[in-house]
């Protein structure tokens, strides 16, 4: 979408005036912007027929012309930028966002995304268009737990830890929804509720069987944070069953927990086709009308799909009442009123955002900053990095070195000027440095990638070896692509299945290239571009420097060059465990947490959760707590002093974990309970403070069906990763029986 001078306010005023003019009763309560929103919604819904109400409960909601209600399409995406809607700033894929461990950066990014979302929406409305990907209700963020690296959609999440996921989700939601006391900027939707993380090919049929403790302690805390703290006004229920009940028809999930315990005031939308699954694949009920009635009665207000068209018949059959339908319709229209869709635009703060915000310079710079902060330095033997910019010849090799589509992951927008690793490096080096390029290999055997011509593997590799032999150093760009890992895909090649992975090492074509290039004997930096953990065991033993750059968005190449040449000191940390083999993992379809993630894995990982190196070093000292005993219902403060002991400024992510030393039940080996990313100059020391509430130390009792804080000693651990704990001390927790 091409930006043009803002002229929308008069036009929007005319649109609103024309809506009012079509009504016989100019004094209708729902058109009065001075009345409470609830009263206006009640008035509007009371004027609708049953058929009109049902029509509004599907993602494509038609206009009700006699009431002046415009059509609306509820489906929009903004996982890491406004998606599938033309020009938009493209930030790193969600897993890369999580690697920043930076709350304030997440909020700033989401605020930019919602600025662009508002601007695009009003441009579409001015043009008379109200299609999919043009509205203000966004089906983001995806906060499912990335419990297994084989899941293709794990790239869309914030990683494997409930605490980190919850904190980042809160910031994303707040940035998306804004801070106006009356009007939502956009609507953020936390998804997919609940216990949903593959396998993709079976997602419409599987039953996620979990213990009550795993449900409460691992699969729900981040959703609760997104709803209760972030204020997400929408939630998407999942395709699968949970303990035998369809997720979109589960009284436990939607009635008891979501609306009962958490007091959720917003609306629930089904994943696309999930209501079909209730009767067609899960066989919970026999007919479409029964599935629709079950979902609405349980609390699923909006369907992405076509089954809710059967609700009129469901009422006639006595499966559901019109009053129950009214409840869902009112929730949906309250959201639209909160977005300002029925008010004069001069009253809606967010309607004033001009189209000129799209792709503006500050947004491009923020995309580069987020990409920088997402990069994780995994290895740097002998201080190979940073590289000199005045090398005579630098070889950039690999199937991901010059692929701009790879940078965007999935659920992406289209940036104006994406920068690949090759381009970023060429723009960063000195004028006297030659940069040579070779693709070297296909992404996988039989899969060359996007927009590249097939070529024999021997030819590709020979060209790469020739280029490497001429160079003073090699940057080898390997990894994956969202064409191989993603959502329910038709991919059936070695190592991949239906969007998921069956192996977690590099594809064989790339592993062969890696070993051949290292054999040339030149200083080599391996750059990984991927959305899930890679078991690069051979590289860890034989390659001096390894960088994890994820799917870095539009500025990925520039940010990577900043790190490779030392203009930026990497400070990203892993939001997932990098295992050595699938042999380290339980079966993919086993949803028990035992043996999964850093919290319960008993083996030795390749790279641990929270891990990441820097071009400088940090020292920890003087760990202390504000009290020796923490009583139930209270909070104490943990403090630690952190010093940059090197000669270069850098970022450290200080991490607080707890370990239960006297619990009567099995507990996580380590459990993240705080983190802080901070920038320290050479020699600088800062004190980092973490609040620690007794409630954060509770476990869920399946016998009492409640959280229990025990009397026990608890070890507080502070360090640079879950496996690099620098200081520990023990406090006494005084719980309640």
Is 245:277 a contact under the CB 8 Å cutoff? no
> Which 3 state secondary structure label does DSSP give 290?
helix
> Which 3 state secondary structure label does DSSP give 733?
strand
Nearest-5° angle of CA 384, CA 385, CA 390?
95
What does the pLDDT read at residue 11?
A: 42
Closest CA to 598 of 655, 537, 549: 655
CA distance 442 to 446: 7
What does the pLDDT read at residue 26?
A: 60
| pTM (global) more than 0.85 | yes
Phi and psi, residue 142, nearest 5°: -90, 110
Burial of 29 (0-12, 13-18, 19+ CB in 10 A): middle
What does the pLDDT read at residue 454?
A: 79
Is 385:473 a contact under the CB 8 Å cutoff? no
What does the pLDDT read at residue 455?
A: 86
| Marked catalytic residue, from 59, 115, 160, 271 | 271
For the chain, helix, strand, coil in percent to 5 are 35, 20, 45
| Marked catalytic residue, from 102, 115, 359, 485 | 485
214 labelled catalytic: no
Domain spans of the chain, in order of start: 8-357, 375-600, 618-734
Q: Count CB-CB contacts under 10 A for residue 346.
A: 13
* 618-734 shares the fold of 8-357: no
CATH of domain 618-734: 2.60.40.10
CA distance 552 to 406: 9
What does the pLDDT read at residue 598?
A: 98
> Domain 8-357 is classified in which CATH homologous superfamily?
Glycoside hydrolase, family 3, N-terminal domain (3.20.20.300)
715 labelled catalytic: no
Residues of the chain short of pLDDT 50, as ranges, are 1-18, 20-25
Q: Residues 474-505: pLDDT tens digits?
A: 999 999 999 999 999 998 899 999 999 999 99
What ranges make up the beta strands (E) of 444-582? 473-479, 496-497, 500-501, 524-529, 545-548
Widest Cα–Cα separation across the chain: 82
Spatial strand order in the sheet of 245-246: 207-208, 241-242, 245-246
Q: Does domain 375-600 have CATH number 3.40.50.300?
A: no
What does the pLDDT read at residue 10?
A: 43
CA distance 448 to 714: 52
């Amino acid at each position: 979408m091409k930006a043009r001078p803002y002229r929308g306010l008069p036009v929007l005023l005319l649109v609103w005036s024309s809506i009012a003019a079509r009504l016989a009763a100019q004094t209708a309560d729902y058109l009065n912007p001075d009345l409470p929103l609830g009263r206006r919604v009640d008035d509007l819904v009371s004027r609708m027929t049953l058929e009109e109400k049902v029509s509004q409960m599907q993602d494509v909601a038609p206009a009700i012309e006699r009431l002046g209600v415009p059509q609306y399409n509820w489906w929009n995406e903004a996982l890491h930028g406004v998606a599938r809607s033309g020009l938009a700033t493209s930030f790193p894929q969600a897993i890369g966002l999580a690697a920043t461990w930076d709350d304030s950066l997440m909020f700033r990014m989401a605020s930019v995304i919602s600025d662009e979302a508002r601007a695009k929406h009003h441009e579409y409305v001015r043009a008379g268009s109200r299609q999919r990907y043009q509205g203000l209700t966004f089906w983001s963020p995806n906060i499912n737990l990335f419990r297994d690296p084989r899941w293709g959609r794990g790239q869309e999440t914030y990683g494997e830890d409930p605490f980190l996921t919850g904190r980042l989700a809160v910031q994303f939601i707040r940035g998306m929804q804004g801070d106006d006391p009356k009007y939502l900027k956009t609507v953020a939707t936390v998804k997919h509720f609940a216990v949903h993380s593959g396998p993709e090919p079976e997602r419409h049929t599987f039953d996620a069987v979990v213990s009550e403790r795993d449900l409460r302690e691992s699969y729900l805390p981040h959703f609760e944070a997104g709803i209760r703290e972030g204020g997400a006004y929408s939630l998407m229920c999942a395709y699968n069953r949970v303990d035998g009940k369809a997720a979109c028809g589960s009284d436990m999930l939607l009635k008891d927990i979501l609306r009962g315990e958490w007091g959720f005031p917003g609306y629930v939308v089904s994943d696309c086709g999930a209501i079909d699954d209730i009767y067609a694949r899960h066989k919970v009920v026999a007919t479409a009308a029964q599935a629709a009635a079950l979902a609405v009665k349980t609390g699923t207000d909006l369907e992405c799909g076509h089954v809710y068209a059967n609700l009129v018949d469901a009422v006639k059959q006595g499966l559901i009442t019109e009053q129950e339908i009214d409840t869902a319709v009112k929730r949906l229209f309250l959201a639209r009123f909160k977005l300002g869709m029925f008010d004069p635009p001069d009253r809606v703060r967010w309607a004033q955002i001009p189209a000129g915000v799209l792709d503006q310079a500050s947004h491009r710079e923020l995309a580069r900053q987020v990409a920088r902060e997402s990069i994780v330095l995994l290895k740097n033997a002998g201080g190979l990095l940073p590289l000199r910019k005045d090398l005579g010849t630098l070889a950039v090799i690999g199937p991901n070195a010059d692929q701009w589509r790879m940078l965007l992951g999935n659920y992406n927008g289209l940036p104006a000027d994406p920068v690949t690793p090759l381009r970023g490096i060429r723009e960063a080096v000195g004028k006297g440095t030659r940069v040579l390029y070779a693709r070297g290999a296909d992404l996988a055997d039989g899969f060359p990638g996007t927009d590249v011509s097939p070529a024999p593997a021997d030819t590709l590799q020979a060209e790469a070896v020739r280029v490497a032999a001429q160079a003073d150093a090699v940057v080898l760009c390997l990894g994956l692509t969202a064409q191989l890992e993603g959502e329910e895909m038709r991919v059936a090649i070695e190592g991949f299945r239906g969007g998921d992975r069956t192996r977690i090492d590099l594809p064989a074509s790339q592993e062969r290239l890696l070993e051949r290039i290292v054999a040339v004997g030149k200083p080599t930096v391996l750059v990984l571009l991927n959305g899930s953990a890679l078991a690069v065991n051979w590289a860890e033993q034989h390659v001096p420097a390894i960088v994890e750059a994820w799917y870095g968005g539009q500025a990925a190449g520039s940010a990577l060059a900043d790190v490779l040449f030392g203009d930026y000191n990497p400070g990203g940390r892993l939001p997932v465990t990098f295992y050595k083999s699938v042999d380290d993992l339980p079966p993919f379809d086993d949803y028990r947490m035992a043996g999964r993630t850093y919290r319960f894995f008993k083996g030795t990982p390749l790279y641990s959760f929270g891990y990441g190196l820097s071009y400088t070093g940090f020292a920890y000292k003087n760990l202390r707590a504000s009290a020796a005993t923490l009583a139930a219902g209270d909070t104490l403060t943990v403090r630690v002093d952190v010093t940059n002991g090197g000669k270069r400024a850098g970022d450290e992510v200080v991490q607080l974990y707890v370990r239960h030393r006297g619990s009567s039940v099995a507990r996580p080996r380590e459990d993240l309970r705080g983190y802080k990313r901070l920038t320290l100059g050479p020699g600088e020391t800062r004190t980092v403070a973490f609040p620690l509430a007794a409630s954060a130390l509770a476990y869920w009792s399946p016998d009492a069906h409640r959280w229990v804080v025990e009397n026990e000693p608890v070890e507080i651990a502070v360090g640079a990763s879950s496996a690099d704990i620098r200081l520990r001390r023990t406090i006494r927790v005084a719980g309640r029986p």
